[in-house]
Amino acid sequence: MENRKTILILTTGGTIAGKGVPGDITGYTPGAVTAGDLLGGLTVPSGVSLETVEVCSKNSDDIDCGDWHKLLTELRSGMERSDIAGMVVLHGTDTMEETAFLLSLTLEVKKPVVITGSMRPSTAISADGPLNIKNAMTLALCEKAARCGVLVTMDGGVYTAHGVTKRASYGSDAFEDEFYTPGRIFDDEVYLDFPDAGEPVFKDLDLSFPLPGVPVVYFTAGSDPKLLSLAAGISGGLVIAGAGAGEYSEGFGKVIEELSIPVVISSRTGRSYITEKMLLSERTVPAGALSPVKAAILLRLAIHAGYDAQGIRELFESGHGTAFNH
């Protein structure tokens, strides 16, 4: 009997499974199309079979800790199955970078894990989902991809979980990588030039119960400092998306000094690096190169894992748990 390889497809809903008025790219319902319909028209490589598991079916803005736990459980299980060559996660694009980063911190990658989605629903003209799925399957069969950790592919580009970000609300080329020149996929050929991914710092962490809340407070000129107090009252920690190099008003500063929860300082600029010397308060932690949303993911996991204030500082300074080995 032929020794067939299996790609495990994990679906979560999103635009890629969206359905709307035929031809339109807006006004659709996310997660309305089944995995069978999404995959039915695709050509599967010879000797490869597909297995699908529905983790959830929702807009990615509604992805929660329970969904992350289910997804991580399925991926960890797939890692242990000898018949699984690689795994593909179909995900909405709005929070794709957050799920990718969380998985990179918690999943020990021993075989390729690829996340993809689409910018247009399945019923749109020139829907980008089919090609993205085809590319994701190609990448999932590439053994070299496993050493790069959790990867994202969109519009032919390949991105690291650490660096991937959504830069536009439209267009199939809405994603980019903040740190590395993206890998590419051309006609079933994978081109990767990423360094090896480091050990996931939270690889044994139990996500079966909710992570603590860590909101991102976006500073703007005239922002009311009471926002920080209100957010802190219902949160385990805070991330501030500061102006420029993570800066904020004197009013914000006074509230920060009174808080007892961890506060991480990032930048709202979209391309930054926050260092210890840039901080306006010694009790805050620099986010380094992490975006506000990824800093929040790391802080949530750190608090959940029981890190104290010094441990959180060292975690952020160490390379954010996804440092690459050069």
Selecting among 12, 15, 99, 322, the annotated active-site residue is 15
Q: What pLDDT score does 195 carry?
A: 83
Q: What pLDDT score does 46 carry?
A: 87
Q: What pLDDT score does 238 carry?
A: 97
Strand 5-13 to 48-58 pairing = parallel
What is the number of other CB atoms lying within 10 angstroms of the CB of residue 264? 27
268 within 8 A of 221, measured Cβ to Cβ: no
Structure tokens at 136: 């994701």
Distance of CA 136 to the CA centre of its chain: 15
pLDDT along the chain (326 residues), means of 10: 81 94 91 88 89 96 96 97 97 97 96 97 92 96 94 96 94 91 91 88 92 96 94 95 96 96 95 92 95 96 96 87 40
Q: At what angle do helices 65-80 and 96-106 cross, to 10 degrees?
A: 50
CA–CA distance, 103 with 294 (Å, rounded to integer):
12
- Catalytic residue at 15? yes
Q: What pLDDT score does 3 carry?
A: 67
Long-range contacts of 133-136 (CB under 8 A, 24+ apart): 133/16, 133/38, 133/39, 133/42, 133/88, 133/90, 134/42, 134/43, 135/185, 136/88
Q: What pLDDT score does 323 carry?
A: 42
CA–CA distance, 240 with 98 (Å, rounded to integer):
17
Q: What pLDDT score does 324 carry?
A: 43
Q: What pLDDT score does 322 carry?
A: 44
Closest CA to 17 of 156, 133, 157: 133
CA–CA distance, 295 with 285 (Å, rounded to integer):
10
Domains annotated on the chain, with CATH: 5-197 (3.40.50.1170), 216-325 (3.40.50.40)
CA–CA distance, 89 with 52 (Å, rounded to integer):
10
User: How much is the pTM?
Assistant: 0.93
Residues 6 or more apart in contact with residue 45 via CB below 8 angstroms:
137, 138, 141, 188
